[in-house]
A and B are shown apart, each in its own frame.
Chain A
Amino acid sequence: MKRQFEALIWVALLLAAVVASFSWLKLDFVALFAGDGLQQMHSYAASFFPPDTSTNWLRQIFHGSLETLAISAIGTLLAALAGAALSLLAAGRLGTVAKLLARLLLNALRSIPELVWAALMVLAAGLGPFAGTLALALHTAGVLGRLFAEALENAPPGPTRALREAGAGPVAAFCYGTLPGVLAQWLSYTLYRWENNIRMAAVLGFVGAGGLGQMLYVTLSLFQQPRAASVILAMLVMVLLVDALSAWLRRRWG
Chain B
Amino acid sequence: MYLSGTDVGVHGRPRDPAALPRLLLIILALLVLWPGLVLTEFNLATLVDPRNLDIFARFLAGFWPPELSSGFLTLLGKATLETLAMATAGLVLALLLAVPLSLISSHALSVSALARGQPSPVGRMLRYPARLLLIILRSIPEIVWALLFVRAVGLGPTAGVLAIAITYSGMLGKVYAEIYESVDRRPAQALLQAGSSRLAAFCYGILPAAAQELTSYTLYRWECAIRASVIMGFVGAGGLGQMIDLSIRMFAGGEVVTILLTFLVLVLAADQLSNLLRRRLA
Contacts and interface: CB of A to CB of B under 8 A. Distances in A.
Q: Do chains A and B touch in the complex (CB under 8 A)?
A: yes
Interface of A: 6-7, 10-11, 14, 17-18, 20-22, 24-25, 27-28, 32, 37, 40-41, 44-45, 66-67, 69-71, 73-75, 77, 107-108, 110-116, 119-120, 123-126, 128-130, 132-133, 199-200, 202-203, 206-207, 210, 216-217, 220, 232, 235-236, 239-240, 243
Given A21-B88, A27-B89, A130-B40, A112 B260 contact: yes
Of A200, A203, A216, chain B has the most CB atoms within 10 Å of the CB of A203
A133 B230 CA distance: 21
Contacts of B46: 125-126, 130
B159 to A, nearest CB: 10
A73 B230 contact: no
Contacts of B231: 113-116
Contact of A115 (B32, B47, B148, B241): B241
B263 A112 contact: yes
Contacts of A202: 141
B152 A11 contact: no
Interface stretch (B77-85, B102-110, B123-131, B179-187): B77-85
A111 B281 contact: no
Contacts, number: 159
B131 to A, nearest CB: 13
- Chain A interface helix/strand/loop/mixed: helix
A126 B157 CA distance: 29
A45 B135 CA distance: 20
A25 B143 contact: no
B10 to A, nearest CB: 28
A216 B281 contact: no
Contacts of A17: 88
B256 to A, nearest CB: 8
Contacts of B82: 24-25
A25 B86 contact: yes
Nearest to A70: B39
A236 B244 contact: no
B264 to A, nearest CB: 5
B244 A119 contact: yes
B227 A67 contact: no
Interface stretch (B1-9, B20-28, B51-59, B201-209): B51-59
Nearest to A10: B280
Nearest to A43: B152
Contacts of A27: 89, 157-158, 161
B139 A119 contact: no
Given A25-B161, A240-B139, 13 more contacts: A18-B89, A21-B89, A22-B85, A25-B82, A67-B39, A111-B263, A114-B231, A119-B248, A216-B144, A216-B147, A232-B144, A236-B139, A243-B139
Contacts of A37: 153
Interface in B178-204: none
9 contacts: A14-B277, A18-B88, A73-B32, A112-B260, A116-B241, A116-B263, A132-B40, A203-B144, A236-B136
Interface string B134-164: 0110011101100110011100011001000
B235 interface: yes
B89 A220 contact: no
B85 A25 contact: yes
A107 B268 CA distance: 9
B153 A41 contact: yes
Contacts of B277: 10, 14
Given A41-B153, A70-B40, A111-B268, A32 B158 contact: yes
Interface in B64-88: 81-82, 84-86, 88
